[in-house]
Structure 1
Amino acid sequence: MNKLKAIISTIIKFRIAIIMVLVLLMGVSAYQTINKLSVDNSLSIWFLEDDPSYKAYIDFQENFGSDEIFIAMLPVENAIGEIEINRLKKLHKTFEDLPYVKTTFSLAKAKYPIYANSKINFDNLYNPKRSEKGLKNLFSKLPNITSQLVTKDYRNQFFYIQLNPTPTIEAKRQDIAGEIRTILDKEFSNYYLTGPPVLNEAYSKGIYKESLTFGILTILVITILLLFMLPSKRYLIISLLSVAVPITLLFGLITSLGYALNMISMLIPTILMVYSVSDAVHIINIYHKEGILNKTLNKIDLLTIAIRKSLTPCFYTTLTTFVGYFALYLSPLPAFKNMGVFTCIGLLLSFILVYVITIIGFSFMTHNFEKAKPLLSLKKWNQNAFINWINSVTSQYKTSIIVGFSAILLFGIYSIFQVKIDTNSRDLLAEGTAKQDLRTVEVELGGSNRLQLNISTVNGDVILNRDAIKQLEDFQNRLEDNPFIASPVSVVTIKSFLEKRTPVLFQSNISEAKLKNTLAEVDSNDNSFFKLFSEDLSTAGFTLTLGEMKTSELEKVLEDIQRDFEATFNVEDYNLKINGFAVVFAQLNNFILETQFKSFFAAFFVAFLCLLIFIKRLRTTLLVLIPNLLPLAMLAIFMSLLDIPLDVTTAMITPIMLGIAMDDTIHLVHKYRRSKTIKGSPKNRMDNAMHYTGSALISTTIALVGGFLIIASSATPSVKDFGLLCAVTVAIALITDIFYLPALLKKFDK
């Protein structure tokens, strides 16, 4: 007690110096944030650099070409008109001069094979000397290629811009899309632009915009709520500073270390704001109540009592919340790791600074506690009467409450196994131009993502023997029958075209050497956009187009491809390797499941230990722990009934909600246990605890729900679901704390 009093006296003595230091640090942090804050939603934040799948993906880009491809759909009068083709040629020249572009592809650059003089030559697919009827007839014989160049009605052209491999463009990624659009704007007044780089840019812009919006809305909502929740309007500035200072310093640290916001970390400001204000409200509530009860104490003694009574529960609530977020560090995804670490740092800053700021703020205030009243109030709302009603209900109907809530808990445990694990890539994108362009292009093109299949011989032999070609044909037929796959292009596509035009080439009496030499020539540098063979001809490539889809659908597509391969080829003689971002994205389900198990059980175990140390009785600890599982059970029920899956955003919800659910419990149980010296039954102690902390519990829950409802206003469906689920779970946590927990303790804590 004396040490605490000495610390408070020291803080007050040097309060001007502390204020000056905080102002200086906030100024530096604000400057760093304004000048260096950036958004990074690139692939690298979702996978560790040494992750085998990520390394394989980068190696694939180096060897077979990047799937970082812009797709422009250009509305035109006539897709095979000479004027329109000349505009495409101009675009090719402009884009291929850019340092980050590997190649471009369109009808103006496409070639088709012609067999003449015992060899294959490549001629321009578009020839202005051909009649329109002749061009359309030629196109009809190469449907898998020409469908990617023009639409069926010949009113749109497609133009592809393939970037260099991902690691080489990351530093300039934010500027690339803008430069691409500037060039297109000069030639076309109307066009549709999509592809992985465009979607990445849309994610980043949406994150930045929503981060600012969430921050402003959260401040406004918290300010309004504080006017209702605080005992006096004079506490408002203290509460707002308790929110603003830690967040400003944290973002100064994040930007100084070179980190950027992403789809996950964009939630940090809103989350920290509601946590900071929750602690501030608890401290102010205790200070005000003690001021009414201890009218003769001087300010330092009153501060000492208020800090001492609030320190233990606030420490443990911060600790359990800290554990919930730090558990995210166990995730294999770097985005979650960073989210966990920086939120934990923010929690520590908030915990320390909220006490420093409240002590300094109280030291400047002279207050008449009994006459103080909130600036805004609900005249018909009588908080004491409401708490008395709760105490009466949990005493009279405790058995019914326990049975009812326990039944819900059991149903929630069952519902956990009904929750799907799935990420819909379209749900990560807000409505807007990028999403509309994506839909428009995919309707015409069948997809916007590239998948490369490489089939190779185990012994390294050339894959162009007659039997292998037959199996490649069978495999392509299976691919074309898959409704999720559009326009597969391979050596089979070229062979089929040559076979129709020059049947003699593939007659049964043609030698295998002749067949091999003929087909070996089809992988022309002029058609490098489609990689048909490896340099040693031991590997044949298939380029597929996939639409934006759920990870569960993507997993099925990959399983279908593997099954078709095994049904067509002898797996002892041939290998299949599937490459592209889709392969990496499909693994998110496994990572999400791993994140849930590791982070939840780590958070649960540490939280149990914290409660046991805090309460010091195993029986009471178990009774207290049960109600904290109910909000998570209800979360599972809602997710199951509303068909909301665990995805890259909602994957972090359970450890976070476990930490939040325990906050109110700890404040309530702290006063329940602190009243142990007073003789009386568990009923009397719990009723007393509810009267002392009930108003603060309700106030902090309202602040938390308000903060998460702001997140639920997101235009991004996945983030919207996260905010809504968190708001509902926090509200349910309060209900269990004021009904289920008291009923359990009153009945079983003897």
Structure 2
Amino acid sequence: MFKLLTTGFWEAIARLILRNKIFILIAIIAATVFFGLQWKHMRFTYTEANMLPDEHEVNLTYKDFLKVFGEEGNLIVLGVKDSTLFTVKQLNAWNRLAESFKSYDEVETVLSIKDLQKLVKNTKKEQFETEPFIKDSISSLAEINTLQNELFKKYPFYDNFLFNSETKTIRTAIYIKKDIVNTSARKDFIINVLEEKIEDFETATTLDVRVSGMPYIRTLNSQNIVDEIPIFIGAALFVTSLIFFLFFRSFRATFISLIVVCVGVMWTFGILGLLGYEITVLTALIPPLIIVIGIPNCIFLINKYQHEVKSHGNKVKSLQRVITKIGNATLMTNVTTASGFATFILTESKLLKEFGIVASLSILAIFILCLLIIPIIYTFLPYPKQRHLEHLNKRWIGGFVDWMERMVKHKKITIYVTALILIIVSMIGMNQIRISGSLIEDMPKNKQFFKDIRFFEEEFNGIMPLEIMVDTKRKKGVMKLATLKRINQLEELIEETPELSKPISVVSLVKYSKQAYYNGNPKYYQLPTSQENSFILSYAKNSSSNVDMLKNFVDSTGQYARITTFMKDIGTDKMERIQENLQNKIDKVFPEERYEVTMTGKALVFQKGTKYLVRNLVISLTLAIFLISLFMAYLFRSFRMIIVSLIPNLLPLLVTAGIMGFIGVPIKPSTILVFSIAFGISVDDTIHFLAKYRQELQANHWKIRKSVYAALRETGVSMFYTSIVLFFGFSVFTISSFGGTVALGALVSITLLFAMLSNLLLLPSLLLSLERSIANKEVLRKPTIDIIPEEDDSEMDSENEL
């Protein structure tokens, strides 16, 4: 009954499509216009990818920190390492550049060498006052020498913040207003103001200005994502259409396929706009993915049409059979592919959920477009010319199929031994895979902003903020000398850690206050004793300048203190070790009943997010395997067939994991996607092969060997065509400047190539070796869904009715 319903259903679909072609075309055009109008709602991301659920403990800790101290990723730094900077002309120009940013609404504060203030003791007023190092502008070389002597030797408070006293590297700090850090205003300021001013300055002075800081990195990184979208789409269209043309030798068929996938891309952008999702490094991959996945659909449909036309010359019957015979199989394969992407929806990561939703909807949409547009367009076109059908008789394809058949017939042991060796070697490689929680590892290595990140890591030990918040559980608890001493002990460990920069906190300010009390003598840059504390703090309380400086390190109630350090780009293992060392020190120094100390910051959130995604990888891949297993069980109603169908598809995943371990590609947000995507796509070949195998079993009276070879010859060509398109289509991503995107493209391409060979060699071999145990006629004779309907000569009423 299911079989009759299924066959009848697809025959009804064929009649509906071909008899209502004008109406359907109008509906497609209307839908495309509708989706086109949704493009205006597309948004580009202005924040880092947060892979953790909103309610995750790490996110909640970070949000608590932001509530107390506000946005922490609002610092942009400019740096120069050049001895010629220390001339009157150059240093004045550098100070003027910093001064020029202060007039912009987007800027909260600018700190440069000219803004640095000495703390000076006023004995009469019993307070500290500030005195600028540079009162107006530099007028002589002697002033510069005095400035260098004071800054680099006498005032450690500023060392490693606005200058490196050892290398003489100078920095300027620009703090963007916190309310625009995650908006388009940040991008406009950086692209249209900051970069233009720096370019003009470099031209005028010939100095090389390095720029970094999280707002700057995020802006240029996002801009690179946006810039690469049209490149990916263009490259995917060119590569897939070229391969398509080389296979079919038909401009007409190639043009039709391009129309279909271009409409699919328009719908994908429309879905993004309709759902209000941001374009991130992941969702930016979906439009070219749709091209790569859509072209194989076109190959199956057009190849079937040309086979049918060559067989009997009846265009109406050919188009009917394209829909009834290939429509169902294409639906099944697209559903399994969409399932591979849809498993990400079940994770708690917003980033992956949005990617899974848009990708799975877009895959189903491209299937509908292929099924509707291709048969309808061919109803208006003349019969294919003889040269368009020549590819059906290509000898080299026949040679490839003959080679596969010989291997399956005579080299089964070789196939099994090769598969076993691959499994063993791959498992060894898997043990070497590392996890990467780096914020910048995937960024374009050839871009100047990435080189600048490395520059600031070398000069100032990093630009990725790591924040430690100390809750004293009582108002004004921070300024207690006991608390300051505990913070100082923690800072000593931070200073001893080479991967972390010199910490900035209230302790530094208190030390600076003691130095000022002793008339600027640098040997007194230390915490005051209990006897000194009361009168030094009384000076500090009378000083408005100290209050202004204090607000960056202590909240308004005096209950919370902030320790800021910056971290180098290090691996997850090192980061976890550093975090563990810091936590051990915190547990030892800060009694739990009196203090609550938390670590947070962009670097830590990203690292935890990567670990979280790795766990979700296992969940999503397991779900993909489970869902597709259920699907195979529903199709073939045989547990043995599920096992047989999974083995050729799991082997390529093991090989890919092994390759990642051997060549040092880490598990990270981009490469996590490889396995679910590749599994969802590769299982399509298995479905095609097993569906044809079942059909051949019925036609050949359950003769296993004859049916396996017939299925291999029938499906081998289409599987080869589509696998080549997918291989080169995903290879397009290797032109990206993002390391993660390159790895994604290369790894999926390799996996799909192995999957093709596995399905064409290992799967038939398993069927032959296990023929007695799986050749259950009752199981395979009556499938739940008839994927490829049996041949019949039924035709539609007449071509005139179309």
Q: TM exceeds 0.5?
A: yes
1:262-277 map, 5 Å:
262-277=280-295
Structure 1 Cα separation of the partners of residues 157 and 172 of structure 2: 16
Match of 2:28 among 22, 26, 31: 22
Task: Verify: 1:261 aligned to 2:300, yes or no.
Answer: no
Contact kept? 1:110, 1:125, Cα under 8 Å: yes
Structure 2 Cα separation of the partners of residues 523 and 673 of structure 1: 86
**Structure 1 SS opposite 2:657:** helix
Partner AA of 2:358 in structure 1? F
Deviations, residues 116-166 of structure 1 (Å, cap 9, x unaligned):
424333332445799545433432233352332234478653111112336
Gap change, CA 1:283 and 1:481, over 3 Å in 2: same
Match of 1:307 in 2: 323
Structure 2 Cα separation of the partners of residues 93 and 526 of structure 1: 23
Structure 2 Cα separation of the partners of residues 632 and 491 of structure 1: 52
Structure 2 Cα separation of the partners of residues 113 and 278 of structure 1: 72
**Structure 1 SS opposite 2:591:** coil
1:579-590 map, 5 Å:
579-590=600-611
Match of 1:138 in 2: 150
Uncovered stretches (5+) of structure 1, i.e. residues with no partner: none
Match of 1:323 among 339, 357, 374: 339
Partner AA of 1:57 in structure 2? Y
Shift, 1:738, TM fit: 0.8
Partner AA of 1:307 in structure 2? I
Shift, 1:362, TM fit: 2.6
Match of 2:793 in 1: none
1:336-415 map, 5 Å:
336-367=352-383, 372-373=388-389, 382-413=396-427, 415=429
**Structure 2 SS opposite 1:204:** helix
Contact kept? 2:300, 2:326, Cα under 8 Å: yes
Gap change, CA 1:508 and 1:708, over 3 Å in 2: closer
Gap change, CA 1:346 and 1:510, over 3 Å in 2: same
Task: Verify: 1:468 aligned to 2:483, yes or no.
Answer: yes
Task: Verify: 1:729 aligned to 2:751, yes or no.
Answer: yes
Structure 2 Cα separation of the partners of residues 520 and 552 of structure 1: 44
Shift, 1:504, TM fit: 12
Partner AA of 1:172 in structure 2? A
Shift, 1:24, TM fit: 4.5
Structure 1 Cα separation of the partners of residues 336 and 440 of structure 2: 34
Contact kept? 1:391, 1:687, Cα under 8 Å: yes
Match of 2:18 in 1: 12
Match of 2:4 in 1: none
Shift, 1:414, TM fit: 5.5
Uncovered stretches (5+) of structure 2, i.e. residues with no partner: 1-6, 519-523, 773-802
Partner AA of 1:299 in structure 2? K
**Structure 2 SS opposite 1:487:** coil
Contact kept? 1:68, 1:162, Cα under 8 Å: yes
Contact kept? 2:494, 2:502, Cα under 8 Å: no
Match of 1:235 in 2: 253
1:135-534 map, 5 Å:
135-139=147-151, 140-143=153-156, 145-152=158-165, 157-165=170-178, 169-178=182-191, 179-185=193-199, 187-189=201-203, 190=207, 191-230=209-248, 233-295=251-313, 298-367=314-383, 372-373=388-389, 382-413=396-427, 415-430=429-444, 431-458=446-473, 462-499=477-514, 502=518, 510=531, 513-514=534-535, 517=538, 524=545, 528=549, 531-534=552-555
Shift, 1:324, TM fit: 0.6
Deviations, residues 658-686 of structure 1 (Å, cap 9, x unaligned):
10110111111110011221224322111
Structure 2 Cα separation of the partners of residues 369 and 620 of structure 1: 42
Shift, 1:78, TM fit: 6.3
Structure 1 Cα separation of the partners of residues 379 and 320 of structure 2: 12
Shift, 1:447, TM fit: 1.9
Shift, 1:446, TM fit: 2.5
Gap change, CA 1:314 and 1:410, over 3 Å in 2: farther
Shift, 1:511, TM fit: 6.3
Match of 2:738 among 711, 716, 724: 716
Structure 2 Cα separation of the partners of residues 368 and 504 of structure 1: 88
Structure 1 Cα separation of the partners of residues 156 and 529 of structure 2: 26
Gap change, CA 1:274 and 1:7, over 3 Å in 2: same
Match of 1:40 in 2: 45
Gap change, CA 1:250 and 1:476, over 3 Å in 2: closer
Structure 1 Cα separation of the partners of residues 428 and 637 of structure 2: 31
Structure 1 Cα separation of the partners of residues 393 and 610 of structure 2: 47
Structure 2 Cα separation of the partners of residues 475 and 232 of structure 1: 71
Partner AA of 1:337 in structure 2? K
Shift, 1:58, TM fit: 4.5
1:552-571 map, 5 Å:
552-571=573-592
Task: Verify: 1:599 aligned to 2:607, yes or no.
Answer: no
Structure 2 Cα separation of the partners of residues 445 and 511 of structure 1: 32
Structure 1 Cα separation of the partners of residues 78 and 68 of structure 2: 25
Identity %: 21
Structure 2 Cα separation of the partners of residues 281 and 50 of structure 1: 45
**Structure 2 SS opposite 1:544:** strand
Structure 1 Cα separation of the partners of residues 739 and 550 of structure 2: 34
Structure 2 Cα separation of the partners of residues 213 and 364 of structure 1: 33
**Structure 1 SS opposite 2:254:** helix
Gap change, CA 1:749 and 1:409, over 3 Å in 2: farther
**Structure 1 SS opposite 2:267:** helix
Structure 1 Cα separation of the partners of residues 362 and 525 of structure 2: 74
Q: Which moved more, 1:643-652 or 1:677-686?
A: 677-686
Structure 1 Cα separation of the partners of residues 439 and 175 of structure 2: 21
Gap change, CA 1:67 and 1:125, over 3 Å in 2: farther
**Structure 2 SS opposite 1:422:** coil
Structure 2 Cα separation of the partners of residues 199 and 169 of structure 1: 13
Structure 2 Cα separation of the partners of residues 22 and 31 of structure 1: 14
Partner AA of 1:331 in structure 2? T
Deviations, residues 423-478 of structure 1 (Å, cap 9, x unaligned):
43333211212222223333333222333323232455624444433333332221
Partner AA of 2:284 in structure 1? M
**Structure 2 SS opposite 1:744:** helix
Equivalent residues, number: 745
Structure 2 Cα separation of the partners of residues 14 and 123 of structure 1: 84
Gap change, CA 1:539 and 1:235, over 3 Å in 2: closer
Structure 1 Cα separation of the partners of residues 674 and 460 of structure 2: 37
Q: Which moved more, 1:42-51 or 1:198-207?
A: 42-51
Match of 2:558 among 526, 537, 550: 537
Structure 1 Cα separation of the partners of residues 344 and 528 of structure 2: 62
Shift, 1:609, TM fit: 0.4
Deviations, residues 341-393 of structure 1 (Å, cap 9, x unaligned):
11111111111111111211232234368764358x997x5212321221121
Structure 1 Cα separation of the partners of residues 768 and 530 of structure 2: 92
**Structure 1 SS opposite 2:665:** coil
Contact kept? 1:451, 1:543, Cα under 8 Å: yes
Aligned residues: CA RMSD: 3.2
Gap change, CA 1:187 and 1:413, over 3 Å in 2: closer
**Structure 1 SS opposite 2:278:** coil
Shift, 1:82, TM fit: 6.6
Contact kept? 1:278, 1:703, Cα under 8 Å: yes
Task: Verify: 1:618 aligned to 2:618, yes or no.
Answer: no
Structure 1 Cα separation of the partners of residues 551 and 339 of structure 2: 49
Gap change, CA 1:686 and 1:188, over 3 Å in 2: same
Match of 1:629 in 2: 650
Match of 1:60 among 49, 62, 65: 65
* TM-score for the superposition, normalised by structure 2: 0.85
